[in-house]
Structure formats: C-alpha cells, structure tokens
Structure 1
Amino acid sequence: MELTGAVLATRGDDVVLEAYGGVADPTTGARCGPRSRFQIASLSKQFAAAAVLLLVEDGVLALTDRLSDRLTDCPVAWADITLHHLLTHTSGLPHWDGIPDFDFDTPPPLAETVARITRCTPLTEPGHRWHYSSVGYVLTALVVERASGSGYQDFLRERVIRPLGLVGTGVGAAPPADVARGRRAGQTYDFQDLTTMPGTGDVWSTARDLARWARALERGALLAPDSLRAMFTTHFRQHQQRPPLTVTGYGYGVFLGDLAGRPARFHDGHNIGYRSLLVRLPEQDASIVVLANDDDADPYASVPDVARALGLKP
C-alpha cells in the first residue's frame, strides 16, 4: 500500500502489521518511522473524555453537571448544557464554522477563542440532536482545568500519559524531536498552535503509543468499569457509512459501530496537514492505527488491507 505516514495493526501485545513510508521532515530528510510523532487531531477527544471520567471517579465532577455551574459568564442559552452533552456532541453548539470570525488555519489565543464561542448561537436545544462540535470539547477542557486546579495539558500528562507509559505522546506544542511535519497541497505546513484548541485535536502521538492507549483503556488500566461502560455506551444512535466501517452510535469521544460484522470502537481526525484513524476491535483484542502527515491522505483506504492481515474480510 502507498503510504505517507504510519499503519499499524496489533492483536494483544503482538504486532501483526507495521508499515511506515514517506518523509517525516523535509528539512532533514528524516523518514517516517516508529518514533515519528503525528498530530492525531480529533483522536484527542478520547483523551479529553477520559480526563472528565477520571474527575468523575475523583468525585470532583458529575456527568450531569451543567456547564453554567462550572464556567463563569456562560450565555443564558447554555443553561441546560451538561458535560454529558459536550462529550456526546449533543450540546447543540456548532462546529468551528459556526463561530463568528473564527479562522481555523490561524486560530487566535485561547481567551479570544472562548470569547468568540460565547457569541455563537446554539443550533438546537441540548440532547435533541447529534451535531459534531469541537467547540464543545474546548469547553470540556476548560471544565477539566477548573475542576482539577491544574492546566489541561498538565492534567493529561500526569493522569493519563505518564501512568500508561505513552513515552511518544505529548499534548499542546510540537514535540522537541521526531516530529512528522504535515503537508498540504504538496507543501510543508507550519504547525498550528494547538494550545489554543485544548481538548479537540491537541495531542501528538506515535502509532505504537495509540495502539497501547486503545488496549490499556479498554482493559481498565486507566478507568474504572463504570467509567468504561459510560465511555463505550451508545448515547446517541446514528447511522453513517465510513467504508469499510459502519457507524451506529456515539459514546464519549468514540464512534461505535462495526468492521466486517465485528463490533468496533473508533474515531478519525483531521488537522491541517494530518489525517488519523484509530480502530479498536474488542472481540479480537486488536487495534488498527493509521496516521498520515499528508492532508490528502484517506486513512480509511488502508483499513481493508489491515483488516485482512488480522484475519477479517471487510
């Protein structure tokens, strides 16, 4: 398969397929490899959901907490939005294209981003409709900060990344080394300042770390059983085809559906210059990771070959 990035398939602790291709950094000529760190884009939302659930276990938050009780100066229209609504994309808040004067290519500082978010008009009442909203995950990250008393990035490092031994994973600013530089329209793209969009797409990681993350999370290495059930429960049903995957619902930071007739938990992501996909197959104890530092890549295109390597017939 042609590849600019990384493809990895694991079953249990064993690597079934691992492939890397393309240039990670044109300035040095470094090739993509196991140590290459990619922006994982919206896969980051799983980390934000886990952060909230950890604070629920701590007794600091409840999923029924209203946003207006956790953040000051919330608009009146947000009165009934809860953490559950934010995590499930049912808050009624829009995606980036619904924020006044917001340029995703060159996002403003976080305080200004939040100020613009507070001026947006909700699309529906909370809980009435599923509408993908990275905006809701920015607010989720702010709630984590206020409830924990530490910066969102610090919280992820101390409570999620280090305990799971994700040595190639970071959050916020670009890592100091082994960066896979994103490309758009054939040109290397300067990194976005992901500290301005916490909770939405601000995590950097490697293919191996993401496989470790998916398995450790599922096997209870981070969250208690009740939290895992909440994360992997279908809270809002929907039907989408993302061939070869089928979506049947959404949990907390994860799509639920199937691959080749087998239950699948997955999410994709797209930041400028990067594409990502993480699929977890619980019945097979298997993970599929696709990371690309090319805006034109289609991470789903690699899945059929990888699924066959795992003995599935998509």
Structure 2
Amino acid sequence: MSHLVASIQRAAPALNVVMHGEPGAAHAEVAACWDPPPGALAAMPNLRLIHSIAAGVDNILSDPALPALPLCRVVDPQHARGMSEFVTWGVLHFHRQLDLVMSNQRDARWLRPAQAHPAQCTVGVMGLGEIGSRVALDLQRLGFTVRGWARQPRALPGIEIFEGESGFEAFLADTSILVCLLPLTSETRGILGAATFAQMQPGAKLIHVGRGEHLVVADLAAALESGRLGGAIVDVFPVEPLPADDPLWRAPNLIVTPHMASVASANTIGEQIAHNVQRLLDGEPLGNVVDVARGY
C-alpha cells in the first residue's frame, strides 16, 4: 500500500500522509486501509474518517472494534470497464466452447464445436451495483439473454430482474452461465456452495469475480468433479494466494486466475481519498459513503 502515499500526495500536496507504524500515524484523522489489524482503528483517538482503498469494505467491517465513524469506499468507472472485459471474455470462452477446444487440443483431436446465437445463452448476473449493472448491460449489447439478481429492487432496461431470497431459485433455474459480482455480507458469505449449485442447470458454468468468501471451495470442487457444473472461471478465493496443494488447481474444466479481473488505478484511489478528506475538512457531504448496516 506504500505506493498509494505518493498518489494521495499528488492529489493533495498539503496533506501529511504516513504509513501505519510510522511516527504520527497513531494520531491520524483519516485512515486509508484495506485489511487493518483488529483493533488498530479503535486505537487511533483522533480518527474522523475511515476510507477503504478499494470498492469492497468487508475486511474493514469484520473488525469487532470498528469505531462508529463514516466509512467510504473507492468507486472507479474504469474498474467497472475492466471487470466487464474480464467477464465478457469468460462468457465468450464458454459460449464459443473454447474450453472444449482447449481440451481437444491436449488430445490432438480436431473437432469444430457447434456455434449458437448468443441469445440462446442465458447469463445470470448476481449483484447489480455499478459494476454488475455495467457487466449485465454490456453482455446484453452483445446479444446475450441477461438476467440479474439483487438483494434490493433494481431496474435495468431489457433485463429481467429477480429480487431477494424469493426470486433466487427462479433466477438460477434457467441460467446457463452464472456470474457472481455480489458484495460480501453475512447473507452472501458462502452463497456459491452446494445448495446454489444444485439449483442450477446440470452442466451450467460459473464465473466468480465477487469476493473470495462467497465461495465454498470443497463444494465447487465436488460440483466440477460430478459434472453438476460444466466449468468455472474463478478469480477470487477465501485464501489468497491459492495454496499449491489446493484441489482447485486440479479440478476439471476450471480456470484459476490470480485476482486479476480488475483493479482501481492508484491515481483514482489517491484522488478519491484526497477529495473526501477535503470534503471532511470543509464540512461537506462525503462521497461513496458505505451503508454499514448493509455492508456496501
């Protein structure tokens, strides 16, 4: 995180920016962090604002001693673009059966897979915030049949939306490729497990770019081994880096990527933190404030 010091100072040269543990850090008024040690924020008596350096805040909210202070996150439009690129690649990988082509190449087998119209492929997007909505609309523009699922009511033109627990089973039932872009909350932790996989079409595919703790690793491995899931692309894991002895490295038709789907740029992070610090000093409303009760 030390590279962010320069980014914040470029955006606001007058700020005194120090790393945790350096002289003066304990008396800081703003903490920019991602996974602070439990109790570290509560030990800062002058703290007025906590700012995540990413879109997610679950690592911060998990601190049982978290002070009752404003919590903000980073929202980078280019982050949504990068995520949409990654998910689009994954959807095309499965839709055009490139997973089958790659398997055939290993066996020196020449076989041309059938080509289907994208409208015949139903992509279900879990999580319809800024990023999920961008992904859903971009896939729709490519001609895919897109449906969405969210905990709260949403509306996207031309996309069928399912809401809450009551709509989850119907959402999964006709989904060919499931994309997880949910925030991590107590309700969504472990949502990618045996119960969800059992409600999907046999042979359906998974693209997981949400949060690592959404995934039940043993259940995914079992679903791939049994054929319940026909394939998966997983970018985030409960433990990172993924241990070398983890069974997912050897699971059938699984692509493991090293948490690379999309990241906010250091300049954007620095600018948004600096702008919120200035708003704090000026007594103005903060940007991208987290609803702590919801977790995002």
Same-fold call, TM > 0.5? no
Q: Give the structure, 1 or 2, with the largest relative contact order (CA under 8 Å, sep 6 or more).
A: 1
> Whose helix proportion is higher, 1 or 2?
2
Query: Normalising TM by the smaller chain, what interval?
Result: under 0.3
Give me the TM-score of the superposition, normalised by structure 1. 0.24
Provide TM-score, normalisation by structure 2.
0.25
